[in-house]
Structure 1
């Protein structure tokens, strides 16, 4: 059953991007902005389906594996970074298909600030993933079946720590602007 959770994660990731890219294609290529937005709104629904599948698996007697923890991490990242990923894809489509100006790439202090905003997003992702895992452990209530999930907590700390180090490094050593680009 654990392999089915891994397959569900992959299917949900593919479905997420199909919803986003399909929505953008309908919005920009077919000229149907409302329908495109409707398709993009399906992305969070896909996360809820994955969470439901994981919970049903564990409540149905399944034993937790690293796949279940990965599902929690995927959902946390999707919630925390999903809007930003969609905005990036939307901006890219607008530049490519509508002739919009590309977004300027931050450098210097602006890049450092962006890195610290990412730390906040990563903290949110880690909190969501940790909350999901903690909730699943409490919901199942059988430590022998959920012991594997405890291994996710140190990983969440490492993920957050790496992001903090990234932000600190660009705060101390600011990113140089691209040639011909002003510092923003």
Structure 2
């Protein structure tokens, strides 16, 4: 049930985003478009509530509960920037706004960009870890919480690997091609 809800939330995210941007730029219904975009967090609240309700009703904690926590963390860390990025591109293509700037490709500017992305991953990981820890404490039997602890380690590995990748952009900056 939880996996189906995660899929439904992801599909709902993109459907609401498409409807919001369509209303905003094609139909020129700015308030309706904004209202649709502001409905996005409701999907995550539903997922959070259903996951908590599932655990409260005695469901054995499993990988799907950990995946729900990771999904919620990712949404907190990257949801707003994803919406803002797509809004900029929709404004450019559908409303004649200037083209959004591309991320830097070289040097320290690229390292800063990658560092900001890693900070988003760190935020997402922190939220996921907090939700997972709350679920571990919520479950009375320590051995039953093992799948949730496994997701905590997975979350830490994701943040660590992304941090190492971001660090490589600082330690080994890509040089701009000659003539630029």
| TM-score, with length taken from structure 1 | 0.90
1:95–1:133 distance in 2 versus 1, CA, 3 Å: same
Cα deviation code 1:42-81 (max 9, x no counterpart):
1111111001111111111101111110100000010111
Counterpart in the other structure of 1:36? 33
Is 1:62 aligned with 2:59?
yes
Counterpart in the other structure of 1:134? 133
Cα deviation code 1:125-181 (max 9, x no counterpart):
11100110111121232324322111011111110112111211211233456999x
Counterpart in the other structure of 2:22? 25
**CA-atom RMSD in angstroms:** 1.8
Is 1:79 aligned with 2:84?
no
Alpha-carbon separation, structure 2, partners of 1:144 and 1:171: 42
Counterpart in the other structure of 2:152? 153
For the Cα contact (< 8 Å) 1:107–1:174, is it kept in 2? no
The Cα of 1:17 is off from its aligned counterpart by 1.3
Structure 1 runs not aligned, ≥5 long: none
Match of 1:5 among 2, 5, 20: 2
Residue correspondence of structure 1 range 96-107 to structure 2 within 5 A: 96-105=93-102, 106-107=104-105
For the Cα contact (< 8 Å) 1:62–1:145, is it kept in 2? no
Counterpart in the other structure of 1:174? 173
Structure 2 runs not aligned, ≥5 long: none
Greater Cα offset, 141-150 or 65-74: 141-150
Count of residue pairs brought into register by the alignment: 178
